[in-house]
Amino acid sequence: MTSKSQADIAMPALRQLLPALPNLTTIQVLHCNKAGDVGAAVIGLRLPSVRTVIVPTKCNCILKACPNVTHVRCAGGDGAALISALKFCDDVQILDGMIDWSYKDIMTRLLKNAPKLHTLEIRRPVKSFRFETRITAPAIWAEVIPQLSKLPELRTIKLSFPGRETSSDSASIEAARKVLRNSRVTRERKLIIRRVFAPHNTNSQWEDVVEDYRQELFY
């Protein structure tokens, strides 16, 4: 977790610490107020042992230091800059977290920067903003999901819906089914449908319920 408090002390210490951990496999940033401080701390570093990175999109600079990462999770923001930063990693296989798939050209960036991807979660960002237009509309998913057929190794798609079923959900589910059914991947293909009811989701009518419903379909 980074903050404005004593960043001039914490960030240089972090820069010295990271290279001294040869067995470090996971980096997780819980919160970041000043992404520039993080960028300054990791610039020029190379952390080849790191395999998993869980960061807000504003901390995408960390991926530049972790060329061998295989699992990336977006822990905040729209995810656009994080997907652009995947180009610095040679073998990203799993991408999950809350990404705004309505962002312009975001799927095109994914196809270009993570060609070895085999597992993808499409999940709606949950934000507390009053303006609903700043929250992804799942209806757009049905338009971008067909592009996933261009990922030659994709075998698992996870669709995480923020609440009870809506009319737009079925179109997204069917689009994902079609991608997997037409895939040339010889290994088992899996579609996972999750419905998450969370009290911090301002769009939910069931704010006092926290539930994770999972349905798995195999092909």
Where do the structural domains in the chain lie, given as residue ranges? 1-89+104-110, 118-218
Strand order, beta sheet including 52-55: 26-28, 52-55, 71-74, 94-97, 119-123, 156-161, 190-197, 211-218
Q: What is the pTM of this model?
A: 0.86
pLDDT value for 174: 94
Neighbours of 152 (CB within 10 A): 12
Q: How confident is the model at residue 57 (pLDDT cuts 50, 70, 90)?
A: very high
74 burial (CB, 10 Å; 0-12 / 13-18 / 19+) is: buried
> What is the three-class DSSP state of 101?
coil
Please name the residue ranges forming H helices in 19-118.
Answer: 35-42, 80-85, 106-113
Q: Which of helix, strand or coil describes residue 4?
A: coil
Residue 210 main-chain phi, psi, to 5 deg: -120, 115
Provide the β-strand partners of residue 73: 54, 96
Q: What is the mean pLDDT of residues 180-205?
A: 78
Lowest mean pLDDT among 2-16, 141-155, 170-184: 2-16
| Plot region of 44 (φ>0 → left; ψ -120 to 50 → alpha; else → beta) | left
Distance CA 67, CA 65 (A): 6
Give residue 208's pLDDT. 40
pLDDT at 30: 84
Mean pLDDT confidence for 86-94: 97
Q: pLDDT at residue 90 above 60?
A: yes
Q: Span 152-160, mean pLDDT?
A: 95
Q: State the average pLDDT for the chain.
A: 84
Determine the distance from the C-alpha atom of residue 5 to the mean position of all C-alpha atoms in its chain, rounded to a whole number.
28
The reported pLDDT for the residue numbered 106 is: 94
User: DSSP for 186-218?
Assistant: -S--EEEEEEEE-TT-TT-S-TT--EEEEEEEE
Strands (E) located in the chain: 26-28, 52-55, 71-74, 94-97, 119-123, 156-161, 190-197, 211-218
Is 17 exposed, middle or buried (CB count within 10 Å of its CB: 0-12, 13-18, 19+)? exposed
SS3 9: helix
Residues 95-125 have pLDDT tens digits of 999 899 988 899 999 999 999 999 999 987 6
